[in-house]
Structure 1
Amino acid sequence: MASRSHLRGFAVWIALIDLVALVISSVTAVVLRIGREDMPEYVYNHIDGWLIFLGSIILANYLAGSYRIQHSFSRFNVVVTWLFSMIFSVLVLSVFSYAWLFAVLLGRGILLLSIVLYSMLSLVLKMVAYHTLFTQDFLLCRTVIMGTGQRAMEIRGMIENRFILPVHKVIAFVNILDDVKVTDAGNHSVIDGVAVLNCTVGTFEEIVRNMHADLVIMAFQGREKDRMLYSHLRRLRFEGVETLDTYGAIETYLGKTPLDLIDEDTMTRVVMESRLPVVRRLKRIFDVSVTILSAVVWITIGLIIAVLIKLTELRNPIFYSQIRVGQFNKLFRIYKFRTMYQGAENVTGPVWSDGYDKRVTPVGRVLRRFRLDEIPQFLNILKGDMSIVGPRPERPELHAELEKRIPFFGERSNVLPGLTGWAQVRYPYGNTVDDAARKLEYDIYYIKNLSLSLDLQIILRTIRIVLVGLEKGE
């Protein structure tokens, strides 16, 4: 019945799929290399090598996070973790294939063919499973949402998204009434086909049990009623029902940290619990490696863009630079391809741009839509001023203004700014203080969950935007 059981069950299914894919791929590789007749004897004589190989690949998947299932396990995350598992698998293969003992236990040609076949087969099997097995009714996560306000509707819309796995089904909204106002208890209305049940704190547990709920989400606008229910929710949790408060639900399903539900203690705990020192070093290695390895691509594209800009604006410079606020509020100069007419800010001064800014040139409009104007910032990454992924750096004037008007806005400066970021791939284009506050919710979530896996997901989403030309947040 428990939602946690759902998550563990999904992890087991995925591990079994990997194991099946590994066995089929390995057997196929042996048959292709040495023939069907000699296959049984070869496998038997090299059983120790096969066990090491299978164990190594399963370990690589574990390290890549393939079996670390969360509530919002989207198909896009599946591809990201699959890519990470392939990277780890190649590393494992490289180490073992050049180790003398392992090369004797298992041929390098068979190893290489096995990993190639496995990489394709595992992804195909997982996608088939996600479209068939994992959407069956017996694997549905039966969810009760406490509250009927805007947050409750927002959370319902997210968890019933068909791209979210496990598949969630909201079976009821629950309103908690005071004991003295219980005349309507037991009665219910309906919102979009889902029953709204009224109950008291004392009868809440029984209602959840009777509905065989797997997950309970608190979606009240405030925290006062939450505290009244904590003891009951803890008891349900020990009985196997997963529970999430409003803060946890918004983070888990919406991928952002709600500003109105955090305080100084929460922010301090976020920093204390994060793996910033370790991840920061790994990110720097990752940034430099990716920037250097992709240099041919971004330099080639950059040269083409430079020619286009010069052909359309002969007298104007190709590049544009600005002072931006970096890590720990250190100012640095950022580089971009020019997208505005020369002297566009002489009259207006530093202001937000919007999607239909008249100061933007025709070529600049295309560059902005595909984010190609940011390519010169790879130089900033090599210099150490920026990272590939992180909160976008603001101009000092806007940064100072937003820091005064938005709580915790300065927290963005604790990490390196990025070429792209979680807010950029999750939130549409905005040019108001409210938009900046909404983006900050995604930035804080990113800082709290800082990892190379999340960075890769952001990079892949950014590539999709660049290739398709989607608006930010689409």
Structure 2
Amino acid sequence: MIRVFKHYIPHAVLLLGLFDLLLLITAGELSWRLRAEQIAMDPGLFADRIWPHAGFAAMMISAMIAVGVYGADSLRSMRFACARLLVAVSLGIIALSFIDFLLAGHNFWRSTLAYGMAMAIVLLVLNRMVVGGILGTAAFRRRVLVLGAGSRAQRLRELGDKPESGFAIVGYIAMSDGGHVVEEAIARSAIHNLTRYVENLGVSEVVLALEERRNALPLKDLLRIKTAGVHVNDFSSFLERETGRVDLDTVNPSWLIFSDGFSSGRAVSSVAKRIFDVSASALLLLAAAPVIVLFAILVKLDSRGPAFYRQSRVGLYGGAFDVIKLRSMRTDAESAGAQWASKDDPRVTRIGKFIRKVRIDELPQAWTVLKGEMSFVGPRPERPEFVADLEEQLPYYAERHMVKPGITGWAQVNYPYGASIDDSRQKLEYDLYYAKNYTPFLDLLIMLQTLRVVLWHEGAR
């Protein structure tokens, strides 16, 4: 993987994206030349159209990220990728047409957009048929050697066996005589020179997956491997990079303290984040006001009670604030006390089911963002009744409150709706990754991918 602004991107995805970018610029140029030939117009120089072509390609790439074209499912399934490509290109063309209309410009003719749409779909699908087939092979996977043969090594095997995995395990070395979960592991005593063994296998990375590290670190071996130019990684850092979450089963306080992340140099990023929150929330409230009013009326007509409801949540540094939403449940939904939402929850009203699926009930939260109590992107704020229980049962749960809560977040775009302690544990792993690796770039990725969650009702309940 390659690290871009503290966030890891698989080499295969990055290479596929670069090919897509070049093909989209090609589609834009071909569509312009085709239209110019039809109306007997001099097409002019390519350099004169570089910015419109770049805008066309950037919008398409953004739409493709938003609907999940570069996700694991799209990399595994050609049918899935083609379906998402059609949606992404269509949304991109609509967005470009709308932007051109607002700017009263003539950068994107309707005819060239139509041709560009058709050519983009053809070229992008061909790219996945030709290049995608190569990306799915082991040639683009990092060759990993695992030091360990216990349950941690088995977890790495299961992760590496997934089709979307970016690495291939070429061997396991049992560093002790204890019980082995991975049966084919080679005993360390059977290898005379570990550094030469690593070189002969063409290993690009060695992962330390020992069950007990105290007084068991093979320091001489690791030093020689490292100085030979092979990357050495510990188990927790490797999992964080490959899964996009912090693994609570293996992480410890010292790893959190000494690993990269939780940077103090966030002053500029925080100011930029706040400026964006204020601007975007103000615009969203203005644009969504008619929708909010309409559904507020429908909520009132559908069931007895207020159209909006306030609920106490835990925010930055554990402080409490009130979140505002369109009411989607009956007024007596919690007469027996606070409880998790469930699938097909009987407390949800008829209108409530719809506004939850399309996330309309979340729109009033833009006011909370404008006030500065929330951000657009961050861990979802939980209720104080649940937080007290979760902090007792889940390690490092309080650390998620070190960043401002958000309407959407890294956990929301990567994990389906959760309503249990186990689900909260899974989401906490993503929240800790976000808190540890926050950058404006990661915020942008999350906001783009939120569109995928809304379009396909992923996680709605």
Asked if Structure 1 and Structure 2 have the same fold, meaning a TM-score greater than 0.5 normalized by the shorter chain, the answer is yes
Residue 190 to residue 8, structure 1, CA distance change in 2 (3 Å): closer
Alignment-derived partner of residue 138 in structure 1: 139
1:335 aligned residue: 324
Aligned with residue 311 of structure 2, among 290, 313, 322: 322
* AA of the residue aligned to 1:325: V
Instruction: Assess if the C-alpha contact under 8 Å between 1:415 and 1:447 holds in 2.
Output: yes
**Amino acid of the structure 2 residue aligned with 1:214:** S
Partners of 2:187 and 2:169 lie apart in 1 by 16
Separation in 1, partners of 2:205, 2:331:
57
**Cα distance in structure 1, aligned partners of 2:435 and 2:155:** 23
- The offset of 1:23, in angstroms, is 6.3
In structure 1, the residue matched to 2:205 is 215
The Cα shift of 1:219 comes to 2.8
Q: Which amino acid aligns with 1:220?
A: L
- Matched residues, number: 426
Shift of 1:384: 1.7
1:384 counterpart = 2:372 = yes
Counterpart of 1:247?
236
Structure 2 CA distance for partners of 1:76 and 1:247, relative to 1, 3 Å: farther
Distance 1:300 1:234 in 2: 64
Give 1:443 deviation, angstroms. Answer: 0.9
**8 Å Cα contact 1:424/1:472 also seen in 2:** no
In structure 2, distance between residues paired with 1:368 and 1:53? 39
Cα distance, 1:20 vs. partner? 6.8
Is residue 2:332 matched to residue 1:355?
A: no
Counterparts in 2 of 1:467 and 1:299: CA distance versus 1, 3 Å: farther
For the Cα contact (< 8 Å) 1:422–1:442, is it kept in 2? Answer: yes
Q: Deviations over 1:134-171 (max 9, x none)?
A: 2345334333333344443433333443334x4x3333
Q: Identify the range of structure 1 (118-127 vs 365-374) with the bigger mean alpha-carbon deviation.
A: 118-127
- Contact 1:74/1:163 (<8 A) preserved: yes
Deviations 1:186-208 (A, max 9, x none): xx9976xxx43332486543443
Give the direction of change, closer, same or farther, for the CA distance of 1:427–1:471 in structure 2 (3 Å limit).
Answer: same
Partner of 1:393: 381
Structure 1 Cα separation of the partners of residues 25 and 197 of structure 2: 45
Instruction: Report the counterpart of residue 164 of structure 2 in structure 1.
Output: 163
Match of 2:241, as an amino acid? T
* TM-superposed deviation, 1:176: 1.5
CA pair 392-270 structure 1, distance change in 2 beyond 3 A:
farther
Which residue of 413, 416, 419 maps to 1:425?
413
Paired residues for 1:51-450 under 5 Å? 120=120, 127-128=128-129, 130-164=131-165, 166=166, 168-177=167-176, 195-200=184-189, 203-224=193-214, 227-229=217-219, 231-259=220-248, 260-263=250-253, 266-267=256-257, 273=263, 275-295=265-285, 298-314=288-304, 316-348=305-337, 350-355=338-343, 357-450=345-438
Secondary structure in structure 1 of the residue aligned to 2:185? strand
Identity of aligned residues (%): 29
What letter corresponds to residue 414 of structure 2 in structure 1?
R
User: What's the offset of the Cα at 1:347?
Assistant: 3.2
Residue type matched to 1:177 in 2? S
**CA-to-aligned-CA distance 1:284-337 (integer Å, 9 cap, x gap):** 2333444344447644543453344223213x1121111222223332211122
Structure 1 pair 172/375, CA: closer, same or farther in 2 (3 Å)? same
Q: Is the CA contact 2:172–2:185 (under 8 Å) kept in the aligned structure 1?
A: yes
SS of 1:347's partner is: coil
CA deviation map 1:204-240 (0-9, x unaligned): 43443333223333333443377324x4334334434
Deviations, residues 364-423 of structure 1 (Å, cap 9, x unaligned)? 345445544323212211222111111111223333443344443222222211112222
Q: 1:332 to 1:8 in 2, by over 3 A?
A: closer
Structure 1 letter corresponding to 2:451: I
C-alpha separation in 2, matches of 1:417 and 1:198? 48
State how far apart, in whole Å, the 1-side matches of 2:345 and 2:108 are.
57
Deviation at 1:446, TM superposition (A): 0.4
Q: 1:304 to 1:11 in 2, by over 3 A?
A: closer
Higher helix content, 1 or 2 = 1
Which residue identity lines up with residue 145 of structure 2 in the other structure?
V
Q: Deviations over 1:64-121 (max 9, x none)?
A: 9x9xxxxx995879999x99xx9xxx9xxx9xxxxxxxxxxxx9789xx79x959948
Q: Is the Cα contact below 8 Å between 1:189 and 1:197 reproduced in 2?
A: no
Residues 1:467 and 1:278: Cα distance change in structure 2 (over 3 Å) = same
- Deviation sequence 1:408-439 (CA, Å, 0-9, x none): 32222222111122223333444444543432
One-letter amino acid matched to 1:457: L
Greater Cα shift, 414-423 or 134-143: 134-143
Runs of 5+ in structure 2 lacking a partner? 4-8, 65-69, 76-80, 101-105
Q: Does the 8 Å contact 2:415/2:459 carry over to 1?
A: no
8 A Cα contact 1:149 1:221, kept in partner: yes
Q: Using a 3 Å threshold, how does the CA distance of structure 1 residues 422 and 324 change in structure 2: closer, same or farther? A: same
Partner of 1:98: none
TM (norm. structure 1) is 0.69
Residue identity in the other structure for 1:281:
V
Q: Which runs of 5+ in 1 are unaligned?
A: 67-71, 95-106
Alpha-carbon shift at residue 252 of structure 1 (Å): 0.8
Between stretches 120-129 and 434-443, larger displacement belongs to 120-129
**Correspondence for 2:67:** none
Q: Matched residue of 2:169: which SS?
A: strand
Do 2:240 and 2:246's aligned partners in 1 also have CA atoms closer than 8 Å? yes
- The answer to whether the 8 A contact 2:29-2:53 is kept is no
TM-score, length-scaled by structure 2: 0.71
Relative to structure 1, is the Cα distance of residues 304 and 464 closer, same or farther in structure 2, using a 3 angstrom cutoff?
farther
Paired with 2:419 and 2:39, the residues of 1 have a C-alpha distance of: 65
Structure 2 match to 1:100: none
- Provide the C-alpha distance between the structure 2 equivalents of 1:360 and 1:55, rounded to a whole number of angstroms: 47
